């Protein structure tokens, strides 16, 4: 029955794709070219209607265009999954839309977008997206910029899609800077995540002053149940750290759905539980207090990249099936991958070995 429903879903998506398809012959921009500048683009809409991590890897694009053309207005389409991040990027965007998949709300959003008469829409996704196609189709924007892929006829300009198995997601979507005459070798693509002084202070207050020299933050889970290393793995890892390092305090971070597992892990170790807070920003303020981070979640990986935190990142990577993992970027890290979709299959020995290495790196280059 599930296979039958999946076939129906795929067929429906294909029908929608065909219906939304434009017939542009896009100009391919493969090197820095002065296609867009402050004289022909006054207002641009970015499509970033996916998850939290997707916003974080897009910030270098916002920053570098705004740096070169500070007078261009930025508006951003987010989704109900990442809309809470808008407060962290208000220095770039003056207006935000929230896409929530509801038909009436989507129609209203499209109507608002049409009224803005954007000079340019930039689709930040490097995968095909029926949602992107929908907004591109009905936007009435003068120019449409995206990454060269299956739906490239929906754009008026495209940039090359770099090999997903060789290039980091930050570098792949950074190709979208080329039509702004920006040379990628001349710019900084580091990630960032801004917290104000109040946020930073609250994060420190919630976890208290460090009780030991180094704070290790363990983020238990990712966006799906499979992205969980397992209760016993975490207990055994924490006990290993406690037995071998007397200068490290350990904080456990979890979402509400993993609260019971987090409590059991804490009860069997000397680790402390971070409080569950309602917003990503509040969560991030506590992550920032950590010196070393262990995480199976890419949004936390990107926070580690933004703040140059030493990181052990757990990934599922099935060769030939998916692109390279969204690794930490421009920070010290060790990535541990499994060819299974179940993160619990990662051996404890691999993680303890990685911790010994990342600890040594941190001690020498904190």
pLDDT by residue (tens digit) across 191-217?
999 998 999 999 999 999 999 999 999
Reading phi first (left if > 0) and then psi (alpha if -120 to 50, else beta), residue 117 is in left
Q: Where are the alpha helices (DSSP H) in the chain?
A: 2-20, 52-68, 103-116, 130-138, 169-173, 197-207, 231-244, 259-267, 280-287, 298-306, 348-364
What pLDDT, on a 0 to 100 scale, did the predictor assign at position 23? 66
pTM exceeds 0.75 for this model: yes
The phi, psi pair for 314, rounded to 5°, reads: -100, 135
pLDDT of 13 higher than 60: no
Span 266-290, pLDDT tens digits = 999 999 999 998 899 999 999 999 9
Of 144, 198, 173, 158, give the one whose Cα is nearest residue 56: 173
CA gap 309, 301 in Å, rounded: 9
CA gap 241, 211 in Å, rounded: 15
Question: DSSP string covering 3-23, please?
Answer: HHHHHHHHHHHHHHHHHH---
Q: Which domains does the chain have, with CATH numbers?
A: 18-179 (3.40.50.2000), 197-364 (3.40.50.2000)
Question: Rounded to whole angstroms, what are the CA distances from 356 to 126, 249, 269, 359?
Answer: 36, 15, 19, 5
What pLDDT, on a 0 to 100 scale, did the predictor assign at position 340? 86
pLDDT of 359 higher than 80: yes
Between helix 259-267 and helix 231-244 the angle, nearest 10°, is: 40
What pLDDT, on a 0 to 100 scale, did the predictor assign at position 15? 42
Rg of the chain in Å (alpha carbons): 22
pLDDT of 70 higher than 50: yes
Between helix 280-287 and helix 197-207 the angle, nearest 10°, is: 70
CA gap 27, 145 in Å, rounded: 10
CA atoms in the 13 A half-sphere facing the CB of 288: 22
Contact predicate 266/252, CB 8 Å: yes
Question: Rounded to whole angstroms, what are the CA distances from 31 to 46, 180, 181, 219?
Answer: 21, 10, 8, 40
Four-CA torsion 241, 242, 244, 245, nearest 10 degrees: 90
Contact predicate 45/75, CB 8 Å: yes
Give me the residues paired with residue 336 across strands.
314
What pLDDT, on a 0 to 100 scale, did the predictor assign at position 365? 84
Q: What is the residue whose two structure tokens read 């991030």?
A: 284
Span 291-320, pLDDT tens digits = 999 999 999 999 999 999 999 999 987 776
Listed as own residue / partner, the contacts of 253-262 with beta carbons closer than 8 Å and 24 or more positions apart are 253/217, 253/218, 253/219, 253/220, 253/283, 253/286, 253/287, 253/300, 254/219, 254/220, 254/221, 255/220, 255/221, 257/221, 258/220, 258/221, 258/228, 261/220, 261/228, 261/231, 262/220
Span 142-185, pLDDT tens digits = 999 999 998 899 999 999 999 998 999 999 999 999 999 999 99
**215: three-class secondary structure by DSSP:** strand
pLDDT of 17 higher than 60: no
Span 111-120, pLDDT tens digits = 999 999 999 9
CA gap 139, 162 in Å, rounded: 27
CA gap 294, 252 in Å, rounded: 10
Question: DSSP string covering 257-292, please?
Answer: GGHHHHHHHHHTSS-EEPPP-SSHHHHHHHHTT-SE
Average pLDDT, the chain: 92
Mean pLDDT of 222-237: 90
Question: Rounded to whole angstroms, what are the CA distances from 335 to 277, 294, 331?
Answer: 27, 10, 12
């Amino acid at each position: 029955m599930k296979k039958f429903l999946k076939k129906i879903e795929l067929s429906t998506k294909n029908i929608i794709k065909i219906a939304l398809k434009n017939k542009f012959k896009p100009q391919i921009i493969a090197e820095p070219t002065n296609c867009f500048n402050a004289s022909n683009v006054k207002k641009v809409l970015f499509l970033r209607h996916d998850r939290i991590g997707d916003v974080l890897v897009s910030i270098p694009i916002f920053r570098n265009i705004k740096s070169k053309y500070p007078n261009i207005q930025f508006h951003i389409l987010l989704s109900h999954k990442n809309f809470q991040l808008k407060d962290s990027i208000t220095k770039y965007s003056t207006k935000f839309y929230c896409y929530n998949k509801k038909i009436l709300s989507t129609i209203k959003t499209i109507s608002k977008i049409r009224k803005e008469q954007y000079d340019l829409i930039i689709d930040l996704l490097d995968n095909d997206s029926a949602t992107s196609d929908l907004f591109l189709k009905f936007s009435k924007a003068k120019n449409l910029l995206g990454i060269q892929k299956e739906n490239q006829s929906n754009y008026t300009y495209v940039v090359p899609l770099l090999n997903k198995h060789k290039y980091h997601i930050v570098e792949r979507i950074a190709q979208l800077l080329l039509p702004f005459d920006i040379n990628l070798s001349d710019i900084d693509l580091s990630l960032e995540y801004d917290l104000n002084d109040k946020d930073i202070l609250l994060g420190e207050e919630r976890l208290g002053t460090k009780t030991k020299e180094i704070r290790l933050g363990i983020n238990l889970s990712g966006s799906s149940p499979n992205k969980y290393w397992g209760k016993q793995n975490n207990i055994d890892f924490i006990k290993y750290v406690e037995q071998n390092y007397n200068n490290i305090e350990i904080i456990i971070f979890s979402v509400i759905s993993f609260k019971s597992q987090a409590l059991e892990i804490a009860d069997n170790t000397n680790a402390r539980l971070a409080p569950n807070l309602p917003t990503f920003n509040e969560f991030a303020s506590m992550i920032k207090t950590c010196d070393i981070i262990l995480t199976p979640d890419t949004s936390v990986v990107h926070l580690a990249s933004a703040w140059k935190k030493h990181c052990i990142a757990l990934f599922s990577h099935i060769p030939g099936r998916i692109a390279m993992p969204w690794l930490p970027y421009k920070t010290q890290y060790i990535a541990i991958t499994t060819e299974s979709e179940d993160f619990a299959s990662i051996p404890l020995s691999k993680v303890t070995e990685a911790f010994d290495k990342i600890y040594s790196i941190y001690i020498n280059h904190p």
